[in-house]
Structure 1
Amino acid sequence: MRHIIDQAVAWQRRGTRFAMATVVRTWGSSPHGPGASMLVSEEGRIVGSVSGGCVEAAVCAIAEEVLAGAAPVLERWGVSEEDAFAAGLTCGGTIEVLVREVGAEAPLGRLAADLATGTPVALVTPVDSGGCLIVGGGTTTGSLGDPRADRAAALAAEGMLGRNANGLVTLGDGTTDDTACAPEHELLVQSFASWPRLLIFGAVEFARSLADMGTALGHRVTVCDARPAFAAAERFPRAHEVVTEWPDRWFRAHEDLFDASTAVCVLTHDTRFDVPVLALALRSGAGYVGAMGSRRTHEDRLERLRATGTTEAELARLRSPIGLDLGGRGPEETAVSILAEIVAVRRGGSALPLTLRAGPVHIT
């Protein structure tokens, strides 16, 4: 989503008019959930996707009408039995998409700045009118055109941002304490929570590919190693932070930042580094803890961790050897297997080939 907002800001600054199409509801199997967006410029350029290709052509046609002066459109698409080849979702689901023009006055610059720093922020836009509101950190930027609506929308958006939720909310239906005095509006709220953290301990060659790909998947990446020659910032140009420190010391100093979205990857193959930080990570709130090494290394590591007082329940959380069995080799393919396992754990995926699973491809 960040690249979509960056493109929208670039078009705003250039004076290019554009429409934004955003998924507001889904039913059944759908490639993207609420909040997924696509831009269509007056020049016909397209950025992003709302359905993975199923309805993009139809969305473009509506965007052209909106840019020609039509009101915002809330349209629903799904597969019909009468014509399976008509515009619809061939994956079998149904989506509802809002298409509206985004004006030059929309404060997307603040949204882009917050996204660049990983600051939690929400974008609020009315379904049937202009204006928009950026909400986050107790402050708002922009307006829906009425101070009462702005206050009510900010309260509703803060609540959804706290849950990292996307979708529609109606002011005036008791959603917030202020809605009783606010004009009724149906609003689309897009939440952008703080980035999930990827902590890589051991600045080895495999860590370089893992840091690059982790950043591409939207993580805030920290690489930590006690050896200055390894923990050199130029070796990890896409990491957000490269730290020269003993892993367990750094972990203790930052443990309050870690939650279920945090992934810890220990890659050093050195018990002096591995065991102390793994003992801390397995007791922390981190949602994923993995360590690189052979099965013999894993068994030795387990015994060393037991000696530190790590319980069997805590040891059961350890993903080691790290990653899914993809049969890959080398740093890049290993990074794919590690990140695939992190995604599966975070999203509750089975990690099985889809050909072996029944039911919808995308679980809503």
Structure 2
Amino acid sequence: MRILVINPGSTTTKIAVYENENRLFVKTFYHSPDDLSSFSTILSQYDYRRDLIIDELKKEDLFYGFAAIVGRGGLLKPISSGVYEVNELMKSDLRNALMQHACNLGGLLAEEISLLIPGCKAYIADPVVVDELEDVARISGSPLLPRLSVFHALNHKAIAHKYARSINKKYEELNLVVAHLGGGISVAAHRQGKVIDVNNALDGSGSFSPERAGTLPARQLVELCFSGKYTEDEIVKMIRGKGGLVAYLGTTDVQVVIKRIEEGDKKAELILKAMIYNIAKEIGAMCAALCGKVDSIVLTGGIAYSSYCVNKLNEYISFLAPINIFPGEDEMEALAFNALRALKREQTCEEYI
């Protein structure tokens, strides 16, 4: 079964072609600020990205025979984990999402391109809005501000399944704390196949990250908002996009920060230590959410490649549970394998309602 994977990001569009489990082709289109400057919204980039994808597939003589096209899921209403066929309601919700992000284009692109190929299905899988929180995890302290589940669900679920397979267990048999360490950081408590608690990795809770501010002092944030010095958009960018490491050190690249530390930069050392310290506290909190019954702490994402960061983090958390490391993320493979399971009916294809 041939599957096309489409993964739109803020500065890239990634595509891959799979034949069953085998990847035949992969391509990343990089979008510079100049490339995107003429588009006022994410949605207005749609035709530009679609044409890049179709033209590339035709150039490589790959634009045929797809059984399914699977796109990265967008900022939809909260849904359970799984594979969803794109329908009219989903398309409407993606076009009118409350938050703009390039991932909203994934399902739309998959559906339109699928219509050009006879018998082709269009799916999304495990979008960032996967919500399996226990009720107690939703209570924030203000009934006006419930806690929301927005995290790297696709990679969390894929890596949790991969770890389970590595020890000949089922994901549903395990209690795991999974920490995705990338541009955004999400730490979740996985209890027997469900993510019962996780920080909102997009809009402000948990550890700060290379580009996100994480949890901030509430009263000081209120004062900042009403100071008259910043617009709402500027405040949002301080929280998401220009927060965390980049706010303190001017870079989102952890390896650049480590190089500065090696050259004697004490501020860089303090800020990176603080980020690792906050990640450790989140992991400890999720161990508590599982009542200390944790089979493994699983570290993933790009920062998990860094022995400097992993070793420093281990100093804080090694007493909690065994630690296993699956560095990086393969969202393309995770999307493809989800679609393949749906096509083979090894996994129920859910309806978005």
TM range (shorter): under 0.3
Scaled by the length of structure 2, the TM-score of the pair is: 0.26
